[in-house]
Amino acid sequence: MANIRTTFIWRPVGTGPKSYDITETHWHIAAGNALGAVDEAVRLANLRTNLMGRNVEMVSVRLSDDAVLRDSILVLPATATDGDTRLKTFSTDKDLRADQPNSAVLLRLLNSPGIWKNMYLAGIPDDVIVTGDTTSVPPVAAGPNFDVNQPFRRRYNAWKAAISNAGAGANPIWGFRSRIFQPPRVIKDWSNAAPGVARLQFTIDAPAIARPAPPGGVVQVGDRVQIRLASAPASPIGPPRGIWIVQTILSLGGGTEYQYTLRNTEAFDSALVINPGTVEYVHFGYLPYADVQIRHQTTRKRGGRRTAARGRSRRRRSTLA
């Protein structure tokens, strides 16, 4: 199965060309290609649009396969009804206006109790965003209250069931891209290819560092590895901890040891490394959503960005139909 990055874009109406879009990204993890993900993407977009206030319009849905560069499908809202599956432009609830653009409810989209993705639910109606008042009798606590608007609660439950793969069983549809941590390998020692002037290289006992599938096999030149727990108290630039790209790989001692050279590490002196630390392959995978939790309301909205480049930037402007 392909992993289809699906980005949903909405925009407050009448805010001008420098307005902040509302963007959300999820991965369709059950389709064979981007075209096969369109129907479910449109369904999820319509459910999410129904949670917006009447002054927020759907702009587009962009789908792209992570394995296919510079190729995407752009789905636009309907301009005519011809029986096909089309994107809704506005919410079915015309009476409720969205809260201010930077108001949102923080959601936690869980794969399991310790693995989740945070999402800022923005553009929702003003009446479900409760402003606290400690002077009233009784005091009013701040926080999201979806139950004050039962139609909104029902629409939220429908979107939650779709995004959390309720009823999907062994074939979940929606998920997210996440770092999947691998068992660490103990580093045997560090050295410089030439003392004090060349890239750092570390040695481990066999076997070579493995990569989970996909892609599987063992670490290759160009892969990323993470160094942890290394210490170099006397080094002016610290220990070589962090994520590095593998430059070269050598098999030593008839395959009993493996030596990995790290790119852009010329400034480090291996003689100053006291504790060699551990190394692991940096692996990203795709995990399905299993539940959605409401955390709290906030004034921070991830995904807000200008649709035009700032100042005299040479970055190409975003063109949205």
Instruction: Specify the CATH number of the domain 185-282.
Output: 2.40.30
Average confidence (pLDDT) per 10 residues, the chain, 321 residues: 89 66 92 90 93 89 87 77 66 74 85 90 84 66 78 93 87 93 94 77 95 90 96 90 95 94 90 94 94 83 44 42 31
What pLDDT does 132 receive? 64
| Contact by Cβ (8 Å): 31, 18 | no
Q: Closest Cα partner for 262 from 320, 315, 208, 222?
A: 222
Supply the pLDDT for residue 301: 46
Which pLDDT score is estimated for 142? 67
Instruction: Give buried/exposed letters for 121-145 (b at 16+ CB in 10 A, else e).
Output: bbbbbebbbeeeeeeeeeeeeeebe
**Token pair in block for residue 123:** 């553009």
Cβ count within 10 A of residue 54: 16
Closest Cα to residue 75, out of 83, 57, 87, 66? Answer: 87
User: Which of 300, 49, 236 lies closest to 155 in space, CA to CA?
Assistant: 49
Q: Which residues pair with 261 in a beta bridge?
A: 201, 248
pLDDT of residue 101: 65
233: which 2 tokens?
Answer: 């108290």
What pLDDT sits at residue 259?
96
Query: DSSP assignment of 172-201, as one string?
Result: --EEEEEE-----EE--EEEESSTTTS-EE
How many angstroms separate the CA atoms of 223 and 215, rounded?
Answer: 11
- pLDDT tens, residue by residue, 220-256: 999 999 999 999 998 888 899 999 999 999 999 999 9
Residue 212 makes CB contacts below 8 A (sequence gap 6+) with: 180, 182, 281, 283, 285
Claim: this prediction has a pTM higher than 0.75: yes
Cα gap 194→232, rounded to integer Å? 19
pLDDT at 288: 95
Rounded distance, CA 295 to CA 186, Å? 38
The beta strands (E) that lie in the chain are given as 4-12, 22-28, 56-65, 73-75, 104-112, 115-122, 129-130, 143-144, 174-179, 185-186, 189-192, 200-205, 224-228, 242-252, 257-262, 278-281, 284-288, 291-298
Task: Quote the CA–CA distance of 291 and 110 in Å, as a whole number.
Answer: 5
Domain boundaries, the chain: 4-177+286-298, 185-282
Predicted confidence at residue 310, as pLDDT, reads: 46
What confidence score (pLDDT) does residue 297 get? 81
**In this structure, are strands 278-281 and 224-228 parallel, antiparallel, or unpaired?**
antiparallel
Cis peptide before 215 (omega within 30 of 0): yes
Closest CA to 111 of 294, 295, 291, 293: 291
